[in-house]
Chains A and B, each alone.
Chain A
Amino acid sequence: DAKTTQPPSMDCAEGRAANLPCNHSTISGNEYVYWYRQIHSQGPQYIIHGLKNNETNEMASLIITEDRKSSTLILPHATLRDTAVYYCIVRVASGGFKTIFGAGTRLFVKA
């Protein structure tokens, strides 16, 4: 699976959009981009995933560049409860589809 690079930490003001970047320059054509988050004392929570098209759900939007070498997770109106570690993961969608975690980005949402 391709390696991802994320900033170690970011701040965001409550009510503003949080834009979390991820670099995955070695991604292969059959690899999906997944985003999870982990709030303190809980297991990782799935947020969104995509292959090459932009995706949106009730939690967030995922923007993947045309060359697929990077992506951005957008939380449109961050709240204090969005303070968490966010993980960007690239994973092949076939065979033994285990998920390997990197260090992630620690997002602090401030009032």
Chain B
Amino acid sequence: SAVISQKPSRDICQRGTSLTIQCQVDSQVTMMFWYRQQPGQSLTLIATANQGSEATYESGFVIDKFPISRPNLTFSTLTVSNMSPEDSSIYLCSVGTVPNQPQHFGDGTRLSIL
């Protein structure tokens, strides 16, 4: 399976600032996704990162708050903008290759907002 690297692995940020999280995969993948996991909760899908076009956001998530880029088939970024304490979560990158095979996940970025 693909090896997924996320940077940073953790960060502590001030409210009102923005942070960009990077996701690098060691092989070309068809699909890339971004998830959020709030403390003690399950994973929630934020968006599908589309290569060369705008991301597809799930209900409750908007591009102004979570801009996403995907310049090629191995790399994507998620920016958490104008952060507040409610944005304190783990943000995870996930990838998929073909529809009937599983997605794989990175270990996530732990974000704390003060």
Contacts and interface: CB of A to CB of B under 8 A. Distances in A.
Interface in A84-108: 85, 87, 92-104
Contacts of B99: 92-95, 97
A93 B100 contact: yes
A46 B102 contact: yes
Main SS at interface, chain B: strand
B31 A104 contact: no
A36 B1 CA distance: 14
Interface residues of B, number: 23
A21 interface: no
Main SS at interface, chain A: loop
Interface in B25-51: 31, 33, 35, 42-45, 48
B42 A34 contact: no
A96 B35 CA distance: 15
B100 A44 contact: no
A98 B107 contact: no
Interface string B78-114: 0000000000000010101001101111111000000
Nearest to A47: B102
A43 interface: yes
B100 A43 contact: no
Contact of B42 (A41, A46, A93, A101): A101
Given A49-B102, A93-B100, 13 more contacts: A32-B100, A43-B92, A43-B106, A46-B102, A85-B42, A87-B42, A96-B48, A97-B31, A99-B103, A100-B45, A101-B42, A101-B43, A101-B45
Interface of A: 32, 34, 36, 41-46, 49, 85, 87, 92-104
